[in-house]
């Protein structure tokens, strides 16, 4: 949902840049038909995104190299009242129609789409998860002054999503657990709130690092819009996601951008999208932004549904690939010469010269992951 400077009339302090996040750079300009990109996942080697309120009930596949929309999928039985985030697990894609800037909605819902249907058709039907807030009793319209708004949704485990509030009143964010099974649920918040000092507009939980990433916006003392990323680590899990270490990073290079969505590509690689923002010092077009971290794999052996773990990278001797759905593996040099093809998840790199190589992993559902590795 767009935020104008007249709406964001709160003044918040800056925080120092954390060493956790580095190399935040603009990757490309999004196409004009994605000027209101509001959610993002990385699946089948593509960024999948959607527009927010009032748009068509469609999700778009974007090539992150060319910036071109390569495929559009329509949700036949859905309405885009205020789509604000998208997330995924091994079998499904979830779209959060959860925006509620006025605090009046009684039709909040999450659409659940089968990935197998998504991959084989450009028109799919969704199951519906209906949600409401147990503590909300007043539905009087209070534009941008409500605690019952939300724009961030993450997949946490096989059975549960987590929804995060966009609190316009005191900028504290609450977390709500939502079952993935279609049905109707009345939500109560987890114990600890995040003193976000910003409005939270998107989220991603990375099961490879066991860290939660939330993006948002604040206004500093000079009335500059600051883009922020919160990293939540070491928390209890579904019982409390804010009782661990919560660190805020201000993305100084992206002042006056409106970051709306975040997704992970690997254990230490992330993509964010921004909306075209009606601010005199902001880009008039939407952007795709990337950053990296220094995270390592969790001690738990966990493979994300859309991610083939390729490690170590850089590699010296043996390269490992991990995902129990691998169908075939191919290795190429930068001249596109195929050096290996097979299904062995360990590749002996010792005979190859130092330099860059391309690994192509094809999964049993025919999705493909391309990874660049460095041999040294």
Q: Can you list the pairs that 209-212 forms with residues at least 24 positions away whose Cβ atoms lie under 8 Å?
A: 209/267, 209/268, 209/293, 209/295, 209/296, 209/297, 209/298, 210/298, 210/300, 211/295, 212/154, 212/241
Has this prediction a pTM greater than 0.85?
no
Digit-coded pLDDT (tens) for 302-345 = 445 557 888 888 888 889 888 888 889 999 998 888 999 998 88
For domain 21-293, the CATH class is mainly beta
- Nearest Cα neighbor of 344 from 366, 319, 369 is 319
pLDDT, residue 279, reads 62
Lowest-pLDDT range, 19-33, 34-48, 150-164? 19-33
Q: Evaluate if residue 162 carries a pLDDT over 70.
A: yes
CA–CA separation, 367 vs 170, rounded Å? 43
Region 96-102: what's the mean pLDDT? 97
Topology (CATH) of 309-375:
Immunoglobulin-like (2.60.40)
Task: Tell me what the pLDDT averaged over the chain comes to.
Answer: 88
CA–CA separation, 376 vs 349, rounded Å? 10
Q: What are the φ and ψ backbone dihedral angles of 41, each rounded to 5 degrees?
A: -135, 160
User: Comparing 36 with 1, which gets the higher pLDDT?
Assistant: 36
**Where exactly are the structural domains of the chain?**
21-293, 309-375
pLDDT, residue 96, reads 98
Sheet of 211-219: strand order equals: 199-206, 211-219, 225-233, 245-250
Alpha carbon dihedral 2, 53, 92, 272, in 10-degree steps, equals -20
Q: What are the φ and ψ backbone dihedral angles of 262, each rounded to 5 degrees?
A: -145, 145
What pLDDT band is residue 123 in, cutting at 50, 70 and 90? Answer: very high
CA–CA separation, 87 vs 309, rounded Å? 19
CB 97 within 8 A of CB 86: no
CA–CA separation, 75 vs 209, rounded Å? 32
pLDDT, residue 282, reads 67
Digit-coded pLDDT (tens) for 243-260 = 999 999 999 888 888 899
DSSP 129: E
Place of tokens 């010296």: 316
Digit-coded pLDDT (tens) for 289-307 = 999 998 876 655 444 555 7
Place of tokens 């025919």: 366
Region 156-178: what's the mean pLDDT? 96
Place of tokens 């009032």: 54
pLDDT, residue 10, reads 30
What pLDDT band is residue 6 in, cutting at 50, 70 and 90? Answer: very low
Share of the chain above pLDDT 70, in %: 91
What pLDDT band is residue 350 in, cutting at 50, 70 and 90? Answer: confident
* DSSP H or E segment with residue 115: helix 115-120
Q: Evaluate if residue 238 carries a pLDDT over 90.
A: yes
- Nearest Cα neighbor of 276 from 9, 111, 37 is 37
């Amino acid at each position: 949902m767009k935020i104008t400077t007249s709406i964001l009339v709160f003044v918040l302090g800056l925080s120092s840049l954390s060493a956790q996040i580095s190399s935040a750079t603009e990757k490309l300009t999004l196409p004009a038909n994605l000027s209101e990109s509001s959610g993002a996942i990385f699946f089948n080697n593509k960024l999948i995104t959607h527009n927010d309120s009032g748009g068509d009930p469609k999700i778009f596949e974007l090539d992150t190299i060319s910036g071109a929309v390569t495929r559009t999928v329509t949700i036949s039985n859905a309405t885009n009242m205020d789509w604000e985030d998208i997330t995924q697990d091994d079998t499904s894609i979830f779209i959060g129609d959860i925006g509620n800037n006025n605090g009046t909605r009684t039709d909040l819902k999450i659409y659940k789409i089968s990935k197998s249907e998504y991959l084989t058709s450009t028109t799919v039907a969704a199951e519906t998860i209906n949600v409401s807030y147990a503590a909300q009793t007043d539905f009087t319209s209070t534009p941008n002054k409500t605690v019952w708004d939300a724009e961030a949704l993450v997949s946490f485990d096989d059975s549960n999503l987590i929804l995060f509030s966009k609190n316009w009143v005191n900028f504290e964010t609450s977390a709500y657990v939502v079952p993935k099974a279609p049905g109707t649920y009345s939500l109560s918040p987890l114990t600890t709130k995040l003193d976000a000092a910003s409005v939270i507009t998107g989220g991603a939980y990375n099961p490879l690092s066991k860290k939660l990433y939330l993006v948002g916006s604040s206004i500093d003392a000079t009335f500059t819009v600051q883009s922020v990323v919160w990293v939540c680590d070491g928390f209890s899990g579904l019982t409390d996601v804010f009782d661990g270490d919560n660190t805020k990073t201000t993305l100084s290079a992206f002042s006056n951008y409106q970051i709306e969505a975040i997704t992970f590509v690997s254990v230490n690689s992330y993509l964010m999208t921004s909306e075209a923002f009606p601010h005199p010092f902001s880009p008039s077009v939407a952007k795709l932004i990337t950053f990296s971290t220094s995270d390592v794999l969790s001690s738990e052996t966990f493979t994300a549904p859309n991610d083939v773990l390729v490690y170590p990278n850089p590699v010296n001797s043996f390269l490992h690939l991990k995902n129990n759905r691998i169908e075939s593996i191919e290795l190429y040099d930068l001249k596109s010469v195929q050096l290996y093809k097979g299904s062995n998840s360990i590749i002996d790199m010792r005979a190859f010269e130092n330099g860059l190589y391309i690994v192509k992993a094809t999964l049993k559902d025919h999705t493909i992951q391309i990874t660049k590795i460095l041999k040294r």
